Amino acid sequence: MRQQDFDLRRALHALRRHLLMVILCVAGAAGAAFVVSAVQTKQYEAEASLLFRDPKYDERVLGSQVVQPVDPAREAATNLELVSLDAVAEQAGDTLEMTPTEVNEAIQISTEGQSDVVSILASDPDPSRAAEIANVFAESYIRFRRSADRLKIRESRNLVEEDYDELSGEEQDSEAGKALLQQIGDLKTLEALQTGNAELVQEAQPPATASRPRTRLNVFLGALLGLITGIGIVLVRDRLDRRLRNPSEFEEALEVPTLSSLPEMSAGVFRADNAGEAHQFDLGLQMILARLKYFNVDRELKTILVTSAASGDGKSTVAWSLARSAANAGDKALVIEADLHRPSLAIEHQIQVSPGLSEVLSGQIQMTEACQNLTASVGQNGASRTTFSVLTSGELPPNPAELLASERMKSLILTAKDEVDLVVIDTPPVTLVADSLPLVRFVDGVVVVGRFAHTTLDEAERLRLELDRLEASVLGVVVNRSKRSDGYHTYGYRQYETPAAEVAEFGPIESFHENRRLR
């Protein structure tokens, strides 16, 4: 159920992000349907109705039925088949100066169930011509059916006349002869009375409006098709694009709460001339520290390992900024750069590369001598300062995994834990480099950094599985470079309401994890 809910929420987020694409598909398909309808030749439809009714002249004239009654459903089917005969189309075509094929293409014949009424619907670009075709076709059928019935009676009369002519004069004057003569007269009368058992009860009238193209219906169907197509494109694109684009997606993939969503910042965000952007970023950092304390009120949290699922997610920036923000809050903070493969803090912040962590772990220098004290903030009068300490990676060693897994590294973390209020350790991505795996056992908790629209679902799930195998105490996820479109700032309050409510209900962070798994 959790995966289904996640997929549904992700699909809804994708539709919201690409709403413009869906709208364009709807508008494009509806516009195309309108254009196609506009260039189509208008067709007008006129309808004539034939009523099939037996006047029973055979009973009146002969005193008995010549044709036995049949099943109503069968009779209706027979009537429809008779009207559809090619002979009728040929007769109508002679009058209309059309070929039988053209007549059949212009005519639609239908009946309702066992009804005795047959509808003849004719279509043509000219409304008057459509009415003419329907009426001529109906009249042609009546003539065809009347001629067929008269021919049948005439054949019967001819047989009776032959029998009468074969009689002698004396036999013709007998009662039998007189009966045959009477029968001949009755058949003549019945032949003259034949109507074909069909009559035109509703003549077709020229229609006032065209029946085709149905522009409104076509536009609606086009818009519906465009909507389905647009949604399909978005969902397929989202299925192929596995990048996480919402804090809730990070939570579901990593099964941890969101500590904060940090806004995208430009280069030099902490310059004095960029105070507004730096303040916004600091709000997110303060939220992280506040939530870490709130989530972990029952235990001490002094050493934090910061990692990510992939390179480029901004974990080093988050680690540096957390130490700086803690110092601004009045705590003694130290950030340790434990990425001995691709260190970036020294170059990015223009500080000394060495001596650093590698020199300390190799016994070349003491930690206190390698740490660099940097300014976190300056008071308004320029005199009061807050500082935090940085231990860079130092020169890149040939054996980084051995150094980080050594007892000296464990002792360094324990020593730093005793001397400062918060130790933040920047490590390479856990899923890419195994160096940081031993450090998980030495710290109080792990903070995962994910990058908005950069970290993929597969990367996040691999990281979660790896941390689960290490039995790491994962504190939460920081969504870096987040872009929210709900009208609230990425560092504001709305995005934190759900996790805060959940933690308040289920207690500390361990209960939060357990509850999410149960869900």
Bridge partners (DSSP) listed for residue 108: 121
Question: 379 pLDDT band (50/70/90 cuts)?
Answer: low
The pLDDT of residue 412 is above 60:
yes
Highest mean pLDDT among 274-278, 336-340, 383-387: 336-340
Q: Is the pLDDT of residue 236 over 90?
A: no
Q: How confident is the model at residue 508 (pLDDT cuts 50, 70, 90)?
A: very low
- pLDDT of residue 364 exceeding 90, the answer is yes
pLDDT category of residue 321 using cuts at 50, 70 and 90: very high
Residue 198: per-residue pLDDT:
74
If one compares 178 and 131, the residue with the highest pLDDT of the two is 131
What lies within 8 Å, CB to CB, of 267 at 6+ separation is: none
CA 403, 408, 409, 412 dihedral sign is negative
Residue 173 pLDDT level (bands cut at 50, 70, 90): confident
The structure tokens 């361990």 sit at 510
Residue 444 — very low, low, confident or very high, per pLDDT cuts 50/70/90?
A: very high
Phi, psi at residue 106, to the nearest 5°?
-85, -10
Question: What are 33-69's pLDDT values in tens digits?
Answer: 999 988 888 889 999 988 876 555 444 445 454 444 4
Q: What CA dihedral angle connects 264, 267, 270 and 276, to 10 degrees?
A: -50
Q: How confident is the model at residue 211 (pLDDT cuts 50, 70, 90)?
A: confident
pLDDT class of 493 with cuts at 50, 70, 90? very low
DSSP notation for 308-342: ESSTTS-HHHHHHHHHHHHHHTT--EEEEE--SSS
User: How much of the chain exceeds pLDDT 90, in percent?
Assistant: 37
pLDDT digits (tens, 9 = 90+) for 459-476: 999 999 999 999 999 999
CA distances from 462 to 51, 88, 427, 440 (A): 77, 76, 17, 16
- At 239-271, the pLDDT tens digits run 787 888 888 889 988 999 999 989 876 544 444
Average pLDDT over residues 30-34: 92
- DSSP class of residue 456? B
Whether 205 has a pLDDT exceeding 70, the answer reads yes
Summarize pLDDT for 329-360 with one digit per residue, the tens.
Answer: 899 999 999 999 999 999 999 999 999 999 99
pLDDT (tens digit per residue) in 75-114:
556 666 776 778 888 888 888 888 988 888 888 888 765 6
**pLDDT of the residue at 31:** 93
As a whole number, mean pLDDT of residues 187-198 equals: 66
Helix (H) or strand (E) holding 283: helix 275-295
pTM: predicted TM-score of the whole model, two decimal places: 0.59
Rounded-to-integer distance, Cα 151 and Cα 157, Å: 10
Q: What is the pLDDT of residue 484?
A: 53
118-122, 376-380, 425-429, range with the lowest pLDDT:
376-380
Among 75-84, 123-132, 158-167, 245-254, the least confident range: 75-84
Q: pLDDT at position 408, please? A: 94
Average pLDDT in the 226-236 region? 91
Helix axes 127-165, 72-83, angle to 10 degrees: 110
Residue corresponding to tokens 């941390």: 467
What would the two tokens of residue 50 be? Answer: 């034939």
Looking at residue 158, its pLDDT comes to 77
Share of the chain above pLDDT 70, in %: 78
What is the structure's pLDDT at 5? Answer: 64
Average pLDDT over residues 391-416: 93
Averaged confidence pLDDT in the chain? 80
In the Cβ-directed half-sphere of 19, how many Cα atoms lie within 13 Å? 5
